[in-house]
Amino acid sequence: MLVERVGPLRDMQGALLHGKAADHQPGSMTPRHWHEVTQLLYAISGVMRVITPLGQWIVPPNRGIWVPPGVWHEVLMIGHVEVRSIYVRPDAIGGLPEHCCVLAITPLMRELILAAINIDYQEQPIPPRSQLIAQLLLNEVKTLETLPLQLPMPNDPLLAHIGRALLAAPDDSRTTEDWAAEVGVDARTLQRRFAKATGMTLGDWRRQARLLNALERLALGERVLDVALDCGYSSPSAFSAMFKRQFGIAPSSFFQD
């Protein structure tokens, strides 16, 4: 497993955070790595699929993902992705998220991220303006809404087989009983094991997998009709209703600022 570091904490020279900008080509992927500091990944454009030991997250534009120290992750770029990363000292401020989560980036937070990227962190002593930007950015993180864009992946080999099959074919309509027969257990046992491994029923997990797959494809400009049918929905209206129930907004509006 590769280890990526911004640098030892002492190299941050007292700064609460550090910013970095990077643009990535469609389909590129970072190697598996972890940081000794917290990372906030924010995409100005494009969509990221972030894979961690706890599952996968889909991060559309104007959303960000919070990755605590020591959590290995790899990032697949869907489309051309303009990434702005903020690295935060673990001891910077109390009350920040303790687990991976996708955050809704407000207009204020977006401007704070862009301002933080342009700070010269080698300048000593750190100018008061830079310190204020960092402090305001970290306090703003505490106010951000978390979004249900995670898909927990089961470690159980039997369940992982089902998960991989459903990810490869979102329109797979086999029932819990069908899957139970395929893997050689009864349906009740399968549901119990799936809930224990993921915190979700098999039906809820499949629904989330379909919705996150749809998000990726909508971000690339595909038609709602095509996405809905390919993800196993009977009609675009059925897909839109499920999408709005989960995310609180229609698919056509999700990628608007």
Task: For Cα atoms 130, 136, 142, give the angle at the middle one, nearest 5 degrees.
Answer: 145
Which pLDDT tens digit goes with each residue over 86-126?
Answer: 999 988 899 999 999 999 999 999 999 999 998 887 778 88
- Indicate the angle between helix axes 157-168 and 187-198, nearest 10 degrees: 90
Alpha-carbon distance 119 to 115, whole Å? 7
Band of pLDDT at residue 216, cut at 50, 70 and 90: confident
The two three-digit tokens of residue 243, written as one number: 């999408």
Tell me the domain boundaries of the chain.
9-147, 154-254
The CATH number fitting domain 9-147, selected from 3.40.50.10790, 2.160.10.10, 3.40.640.10, 2.60.120.810: 2.60.120.810
pLDDT at 11: 61
- Look at 64-68, 70-74, 76-80, 249-253 and tell me which has the smallest mean pLDDT: 249-253
pTM: 0.85
Cα 53 to Cα 33, 74, 101, distances in angstroms: 11, 10, 13
The CATH number fitting domain 154-254, selected from 1.10.1370.10, 3.40.50.2300, 3.40.50.720, 1.10.10.60: 1.10.10.60
Which pLDDT tens digit goes with each residue over 122-169?
Answer: 778 888 999 999 999 999 999 999 988 899 998 888 899 999 999 999
pLDDT at 215: 87
Which pLDDT tens digit goes with each residue over 2-49?
Answer: 555 545 566 666 788 989 999 999 899 999 999 989 999 999 988 899
Reply yes or no on whether the pLDDT at 171 is more than 60. yes
pLDDT at 107: 95
- Indicate the angle between helix axes 202-219 and 157-168, nearest 10 degrees: 40
Which of 213, 210, 216, 250 has the alpha carbon at shortest distance from 232?
210
Per-residue pLDDT averaged across 177-187, rounded?
93
Scanning the chain, the segments in alpha helix (DSSP H) are 107-117, 128-141, 157-168, 176-183, 187-198, 202-219, 224-230, 236-247, 251-254
Mean pLDDT of the chain: 89
Alpha-carbon distance 192 to 189, whole Å? 5
pLDDT at 203: 92
Report which of residues 65 and 91 the model is more confident about.
65
Reply yes or no on whether the pLDDT at 230 is more than 80. yes
Contact 103, 86 (CB under 8 A): no
pLDDT at 54: 86
Which DSSP letter does residue 21 get?
E
DSSP letters spanning 41-92: EEEEEEEEEEEETTEEEEE-TTEEEEE-TT--BEEEEEEEEEEEEEEE-TTS
Contact 75, 30 (CB under 8 A): yes
Same topology between domain 9-147 and domain 154-254 = no
